[in-house]
Amino acid sequence: MKKKVFIVMLIFLCLLAQSVFACIIFGAGRLATTDGSTMTSHTCDSTGDDIRLWLIPSMAAGTEREVVVNGRAGVDFTNFPEVKEYGTRGVVADTYINDKDTYKYLHAMYSFANEKGVTMTESTCGTSRAQRTVFQKYTGIWDCYMLQDAALENCATAREAVEFMGKKITEQGWYGSPETMTIGDGTDLWVFEAYGGNMWCAFLLPEDAVFVCANRSRINYYVEDDPDHYQHAPNMLQFAKDEGLWDGENVEKFNPCKTFAAGNYGFSCVGREWRAITTLAPLQYPELVANEDMAVTPNPDDDLPLWVVPDEKVSVDTIRDLCSDAYEGTKYDLTKTADAGRYGNILAGSYQNRPTNVPQCTYFQISNVKAWLPEEARCLVWFGWGAPSTTYLVPMFASADYIDPKFNKGLRSTPDAENSSWWNESNVQTAATINYADAIQVIDSYREPLMAEQYEITFAVQNTAAKLIAEGKRAEAIDLLTTYSYQQANMWYDLYKDLTMELLGRYATGRTLFKTSATPNGTQWWNKVKAAVDAINAEEREAAAAAPAAN
């Protein structure tokens, strides 16, 4: 291994500049899903993430690979690895040599699927002041971006990815905020947490369970010796004791997430988890459903289950609905707030209670990996841009020969709806905010029938590809998957391009088809909001009139 000069001060400055993201992730075991797949999902929620997506090709054995810290946003990976760009903040901390051909993978702000069918997600978590003070002494060289890239390049199973990432953190240390990840492969579903320094932990999710994390480290139990189901940093207990993060007593109750990452216990995190749990398993947790104040419980590790066995098996649409949620029907319902206006606009971007569905979402993906299919056909991910409530999902395969070039075009700072898939969807999302209650019905009238049809056709295409592979026609199978995904991406692009103009025309002058629309939430509710605003304005006018004139 050829060691690069590690610029400690620059790394530290990059750490200070690192933006905090706000993603929610799900993981579903194969017996918890309607089709027997493992599912992992991720809403990448940030105003600063790179909006592009690339397909990274295989690299030949013997290729030197650089370990880069913060080499992400604004970087063009179109010709990687022939052309390597790491941006103004990227720092090369080390290098290593690949001892085998690497795997192709889908590479976004956070990479998420490789051609073997290994998928992963991330959710950035927090720490207490005392924990940050400890981990600042042990800054490593593997950040979440780079570690996920390396794992997808080198690992053929979820378990292999867990062991690979754990080894890298143990040997060379973690860089950045704590992260919780779900890692699947069609058979297993692991939850992996990286805390800081050389500390990490992971557990195998029961096959009939669903896990959720909303920017809060969640592994709240410890097992000493069960590597088939639970893995962790080799010196975890001793490190915690030596650094004063644990008193060294009662190993059975040792809690990794509280010990190393006791942050983010507010509503914005706990509330989203509470909502998912009560939606997935209301029959099992009626007390959580009935007591909506549990969304702000100060003891989520004790009061919320680590995972749930859902009342009904989950589908891709189940996860899509969970990620599109705005607390509808609860006392936190964002459609009935002043910020949402008379048309219940949940994409207003200003909210007292942070929902799962947010307008700043960069991308949204759900893996759907069926282990019984050949690897080339099983590595399926449903991918969309922007807020889950208004986006479509394109079937994508990490085994593909290429992806739609519009996926890796555009920047947030440069509108480019003619060439960029992200900007194409963003225009629909923005137009929908004029009259959200009506617009979401228009969007659904186009989107939902096509999504239902697409699910069926995609499975049929996968099965056809599987037959071709069985006949020794691997290249033809990959070409089929590539062409199908490309065609679907362009179908959605064209539809949303037309839909933008339809919505803008539909709400010209702020009316629906030039007619006055009734308030969908009820005129009585909206009239109360207006009356309250009028009362505030009247008070301010009276106060201004009574104030002494300025000299």
Whether 523 shows a pLDDT value over 70: the answer reads: no
Query: Is the CA virtual torsion 194, 195, 196, 202 positive or negative?
Result: negative
Any residues with CB less than 8 A from the CB of 78 and at least 6 apart, and which? 54, 408
The residue whose two tokens read 């519009």 is 406
* pLDDT one-digit tens code per residue, 445-462: 999 999 999 999 999 999
Where residue 533 falls among pLDDT bands split at 50, 70, 90? confident
Any residues with CB less than 8 A from the CB of 213 and at least 6 apart, and which? 24, 25, 123, 125, 180, 182, 191, 273
Do 198 and 174 form a contact (C-beta atoms < 8 A)?
Answer: yes
CATH number of the domain at 181, please.
3.60.60
d(Cα 356, Cα 42) in Å, to the nearest integer? 11
> Is residue 130 included in any domain, yes or no?
yes
Where residue 414 falls among pLDDT bands split at 50, 70, 90? confident
* pLDDT one-digit tens code per residue, 129-166: 999 999 999 999 999 999 999 999 999 999 999 999 99
Amino acid 309 reads V
d(Cα 464, Cα 458) in Å, to the nearest integer? 10
Whether 47 shows a pLDDT value over 90: the answer reads: no
Do 39 and 319 form a contact (C-beta atoms < 8 A)?
Answer: yes
> Is residue 510 included in any domain, yes or no?
no
Whether 515 shows a pLDDT value over 90: the answer reads: no
Do 28 and 319 form a contact (C-beta atoms < 8 A)?
Answer: yes
> Is residue 453 included in any domain, yes or no?
no
Residue 9: per-residue pLDDT: 35
Domain ends where: 352, 385, 402? 402
| 522 and 391 fall within a common domain | no
| 168 and 308 fall within a common domain | yes
> Is residue 227 included in any domain, yes or no?
yes
Mean pLDDT over 226-251 rounds to 96
* pLDDT one-digit tens code per residue, 380-399: 999 999 999 999 999 999 99
Residue 21: per-residue pLDDT: 47
Where residue 350 falls among pLDDT bands split at 50, 70, 90? confident
Residue 6: per-residue pLDDT: 39
Do 22 and 45 form a contact (C-beta atoms < 8 A)?
Answer: yes
> Is residue 189 included in any domain, yes or no?
yes
Any residues with CB less than 8 A from the CB of 476 and at least 6 apart, and which? 468
Residue 519: per-residue pLDDT: 60
Residue 534: per-residue pLDDT: 85
Do 74 and 411 form a contact (C-beta atoms < 8 A)?
Answer: yes
The count of other CB atoms within 10 Å of the CB of residue 445 is 9
Backbone angles phi, psi at 186, to 5 degrees: 95, -25
Domain ends where: 386, 402, 418? 402
Mean pLDDT over 48-56 rounds to 93
Whether 91 shows a pLDDT value over 90: the answer reads: yes
| 396 and 529 fall within a common domain | no
Which residues span the domain enclosing 40? 8-402
Q: Which of 42-46, 95-99, 271-275 has the highest mean pLDDT?
A: 271-275
d(Cα 505, Cα 512) in Å, to the nearest integer? 9
> Is residue 146 included in any domain, yes or no?
yes
Where residue 550 falls among pLDDT bands split at 50, 70, 90? low
The helix or strand, by DSSP H or E, that contains position 423, with its residue range, turns out to be helix 421-432
> Is residue 253 included in any domain, yes or no?
yes
Residue 349: per-residue pLDDT: 80
What is the domain count for the chain? 2
The helix or strand, by DSSP H or E, that contains position 437, with its residue range, turns out to be helix 436-470
Tell me the whole-structure pTM to 2 decimals.
0.93
d(Cα 386, Cα 417) in Å, to the nearest integer? 14
Mean pLDDT over 4-15 rounds to 37
* pLDDT one-digit tens code per residue, 15-34: 333 334 479 999 999 999 99
Where residue 521 falls among pLDDT bands split at 50, 70, 90? low
> Is residue 194 included in any domain, yes or no?
yes
* pLDDT one-digit tens code per residue, 478-491: 999 999 999 999 99
Mean pLDDT over the full length of the chain: 92
Residue 168: per-residue pLDDT: 98
Where residue 544 falls among pLDDT bands split at 50, 70, 90? confident
| 57 and 194 fall within a common domain | yes
Do 179 and 261 form a contact (C-beta atoms < 8 A)?
Answer: no
* pLDDT one-digit tens code per residue, 495-508: 999 999 999 999 99
Any residues with CB less than 8 A from the CB of 386 and at least 6 apart, and which? 359, 361, 362, 363, 364, 422, 425, 426, 429
Burial 124-151 (b: 16+ CB within 10 A, else e): bbbbeeebeebbeeebbbbbbbbbbbbb
The helix or strand, by DSSP H or E, that contains position 94, with its residue range, turns out to be strand 91-97
| Cα Dmax for the chain | 92
Whether 428 shows a pLDDT value over 80: the answer reads: yes
Domain ends where: 382, 402, 422? 402
Residue 115: per-residue pLDDT: 98
| 520 and 376 fall within a common domain | no
Whether 551 shows a pLDDT value over 60: the answer reads: no
| 260 and 387 fall within a common domain | yes
Whether 77 shows a pLDDT value over 90: the answer reads: yes
Contacts 24+ apart (CB under 8 A), 312-315: 313/32, 313/33, 313/34, 314/28, 314/32, 314/33, 314/34, 314/39, 314/210, 314/280, 315/33, 315/34, 315/35
* pLDDT one-digit tens code per residue, 307-329: 999 999 999 999 999 999 999 99
Whether 76 shows a pLDDT value over 70: the answer reads: yes
* pLDDT one-digit tens code per residue, 281-293: 999 999 999 999 9
Whether 127 shows a pLDDT value over 50: the answer reads: yes
The helix or strand, by DSSP H or E, that contains position 445, with its residue range, turns out to be helix 436-470
Backbone angles phi, psi at 487, to 5 degrees: -65, -40
The residue whose two tokens read 């002058």 is 509
